[in-house]
Amino acid sequence: MILADASIRALIDSGALVFDPYDPDLVQPASVDVRLGQQFRVMRNTRLTHIDPITVDDALMESLEVPDGEPFVLHPGEFALGHTAETLGLPDNIVGVVNGKSSLGRLGVQVHATAGFVDPGFHGVIVLELSNVSTLPILLRPGMKVAQMVFQHLDRSAERPYGHPGLGSKYQGQQGAVASRYAANYPDA
């Protein structure tokens, strides 16, 4: 069941759902708007001929910090990682889904390539997989509303929520625009 505004506010007020910093004005009828953080990662495609997910490391992407009041320019066809300004913490019986904002989507901004699902137990910022499918550069500014989080109740609490020692949760506690850690699945590669 998708949570309505009153249920979302009650979970945040009780501390069961962490949203930090929390601005009650960001709560929508069935979601919470999230704002863009200041760190981005962009591809260093001048040195590499391909991406191998099994051996990829942080050198694939360059980290950028955008100062207050300055824009990040997302060029046509470009892919970059960004993150939410808010830290999110989900209880063991709630999942989150990241969706784009309609007004930005109508300009060609996509906020996730495939990873729009947030497991119960997750704690950290949400990394956004930003792309521009328009024909013109788009200016994205830290602090702007960039996506929305939808929350759903599970039928019961997860037995092994995200962050459980047996899961290998690579992004628990992430801060900033964290690059892919897929290669951790193949330590011998």
CA distance 48 to 14: 48
CA distance 91 to 75: 37
CA distance 122 to 95: 9
Q: Is 129 a catalytic residue?
A: yes
Going by the annotation, the residues of the binding site are 101-106, 119, 127-129, 148, 162, 170, 174
Q: For tokens 């949203």, name the residue.
A: 19
Which candidate in 62, 70, 129, 159 is catalytic? 129
* Contact between 17 and 8 (Cβ < 8 Å): yes
Going by the annotation, the residues of the binding site for dCTP are 101-106, 119, 127-129, 148, 162, 170, 174
- Could you tell me whether strands 138-140 and 117-118 are parallel, antiparallel, or unpaired per DSSP bridges? unpaired
Give catalytic residue positions: 129
